[in-house]
A = this chain, B = another copy of it.
């Protein structure tokens, strides 16, 4: 016969768990994953660290649960609905890329998670990566692959470069001199220049790779 978890004014299991999870979030936003130390988390949460082991089994348990309960990519799904697709996904793609760029610049936590993913091997992060790939796979296979036909993979490769560029530029702007290739990534002008570049590249990619296009000779002469 299991007993209900304490939910009083002083002893409240659920509230304490939440405090831990919130502390993890706060640390991740400000100091990044390297700041996730037991003592610090407990101090910030205002709950004894012993409870971390009671509730989550271990520090890793807490961290993994935190990752699992967050939805870092919620913005994409939200944007998916309201753009009609009758241009092979051209405007839709632009919207996705550009909104990703803005979203990431505002969301320090996601920046830290991206960095974390590049720095540490962790099952829960890997799961996050896999889910992201799946979600992307749906977009490609349903929207752009049919449009680009034999050039589908070429569009995917372009997408990879653009998304990767968007990720890196945002992380770079946070931690480095903010000037990259002579573009000041912290000013509106600089950020707009990047957005224009992305828009331009997508336009050109649709122009040059669309299945019934006639001018794709340049593509073949690589490497």
Contact = CB atoms under 8 A, between A and B. Distances in A.
B200 A183 contact: no
Report the contact-size class of chain A (Cβ under 8 Å from the partner).
35 or more
A58 interface: no
Contact of A115 (B32, B119, B203): B119
A175 interface: yes
A54 interface: no
Give 5 closest A-B pairs by Cβ, nearest first: A165-B165, A157-B197, A164-B168, A161-B165, A204-B204
B176 A196 contact: no
Contacts of A154: 193, 196-197, 200
A137 interface: yes
Interface of A: 32, 34, 98, 115, 117-119, 121, 126, 129-130, 133, 136-137, 140, 153-154, 156-169, 171-172, 174-177, 179-183, 185, 192-201, 203-205, 207-209, 218-219, 221-223
A181 B156 contact: yes
Contact of A168 (B168, B192, B200, B201): B168
18 contacts: A118-B174, A119-B119, A119-B175, A121-B175, A154-B196, A158-B200, A160-B181, A161-B198, A164-B166, A164-B172, A168-B168, A199-B222, A200-B205, A200-B218, A201-B204, A203-B218, A204-B205, A204-B207
A192 to B, nearest CB: 7
Given A160-B165, A201-B205, 7 more contacts: A117-B175, A133-B182, A157-B194, A163-B181, A164-B167, A164-B172, A200-B222
- Residue among A154, A183, A193, A197 with max Cβ neighbours from chain B (10 Å): A197
Contact of A34 (B119, B175, B177): B119
B119 A194 contact: no
A100 B177 CA distance: 21
A157 to B, nearest CB: 4
A223 B199 contact: yes
A193 B183 CA distance: 27
